[in-house]
Amino acid sequence: MAALEAFDAVDLIHVKRDRGELSTEQIGWLVDAYTRGYVADEQMSAMTMAIFLNGMTRREIRDLTMAMIASGERMSFAGLGKPTTDKHSTGGVGDKITLPLMPLVAVFGAAVPQLSGRGLGHTGGTLDKLESIPGWRANLSNEEMFAQLRDHGGVICAAGSGLAPADGKLYALRDITGTVEAIPLIASSIMSKKIAEGTGALVLDVKFGSGAFLKDIEKSRELARTMVGLGEDAGVATSALLTNMNVPLGLAIGNANEVRESVEVLAGGGPADVVELTVALAREMLALVGQVDVDVEAALRDGRAMDKWRDVIRAQGGDPDAPLPVARETHTVLADRDGVLVEQQALPFGIGAWRLGAGRARKQDPVRHAAGIDLHAKPGDTVVKGQPLFTLSADEPERFPRALEAVEGAWRVGAPGEPVQDGGPLIVERIGR
């Protein structure tokens, strides 16, 4: 005889539908029953839509997060003998910051367990970028991950299926039911995995603007505050930077080309915005583990961060000296007049790179590592007629028309003195203690 269930899913749906509050016990049962298949996808779809429309209290979000953590294993790095600090970005166009950030922070003796994901749609995935490097592997066992943190101080790898499995199931459902943007569900999804990962400190890079997951700065601020609260409630030192994603980050959008740009940053060069955000996040990650007066820029200038990068890439089977993939075909767009680049919208360029093959429409789709867009100018730059503005790269030239269609109207050369697209400062606000 089957065990009697503590609650009924329909009753709980009615509570949220009617703007009520679920108890800790009800939320715990719901997540467990959905994970083991007792609550059907159709029922959880109704629940996620009710949450999307009516929200959750901070206590409910905390209970949801802890129930998702409880659905799987919880890692611990207590035996490492060094503090752990991690970063999570909500994603954007050209956001390759994890690549130079992890080795930069590891230089200073903190361990960086960077569990990362793959891209879907216009936002690129860190693992997809790194798989451009010949031999590099994303899947490590917990033992391999621990050993690499002990020996090299940093790792970027795929999260194991044992971490918050309820989130994996719920995320897939949200993706096909129009409920991805619900802040309680975003916050619990991100933080359940990060808390289960076992890091002692966490910095959140929460983006807003045209190329961000959440366009509105107030929504992004609400998400940042919610996630910082969840981290603090779980005993993880947590802070967030609210950052601008109205303009692509850096000059490279894709996979292999973003690795190239990251290596430029580690060599002491690279675009100013990528360097600025990398340095700011490194300082924040180190401050949360008690290192407040370290010269992170010096580690980029003197080669220590580059040496660490090479160590951790080799540790995961990659060859840091191997040539990266190059696309068979390119198409360069030229300035049609003298003037100033006054506009360059992030989202259309992200969609353009996706259409070239740099991203995927479905989780099972492969990415083309050589595909992408390289920008040759940023808003405010003076250009002359015939000067390259950006280059599309793809293995199949038939991809170019749809990519060009995506970026049509997303950039503009104006007359000298014409107001430039005001993306505002890159880093707008810090949220946390």
Residues designated as active site: 88, 167, 174, 189, 193
Sequence letter at residue 75: M
Taking the C-alpha atoms of residue 378 and residue 389, their distance in angstroms, rounded to an integer, is 9
Phi, psi (rounded to 5 degrees) for 60: -60, -40
Encode 318-348: b = buried (16+ Cβ within 10 Å), e = exposed: bebeeeebebebebeeebeeebbbbbbbbbb
Residues 103 and 20: their CA atoms lie apart, in Å, by 46
Helical residues (DSSP H) of 7-125, grouped into ranges = 9-17, 24-35, 41-54, 58-70, 98-106
Cα atoms in the 13 Å half-sphere on the side-chain side of 106 = 29
Closest residue by Cα to residue 378 from 247, 261, 255: 247
Crossing angle of helices 346-353 and 400-407, rounded to 10°: 170
Angle ∠(202,207,210) on CA atoms, nearest 5: 165
Adjacency order of strands within the sheet including 252-254: 252-254, 372-375, 388-394, 329-334
For residue 226 the two structure tokens come to 């919610």
Structure letter (DSSP) for residue 73 = B
CB-CB contact of 230 with 62 (8 Å): yes
Residue 429 neighbours by CB under 8 Å, 6+ apart: 221, 241, 242
The amino acid sitting at 374 is D
Burial class (CB in 10 A: 0-12, 13-18, 19+), 387: middle
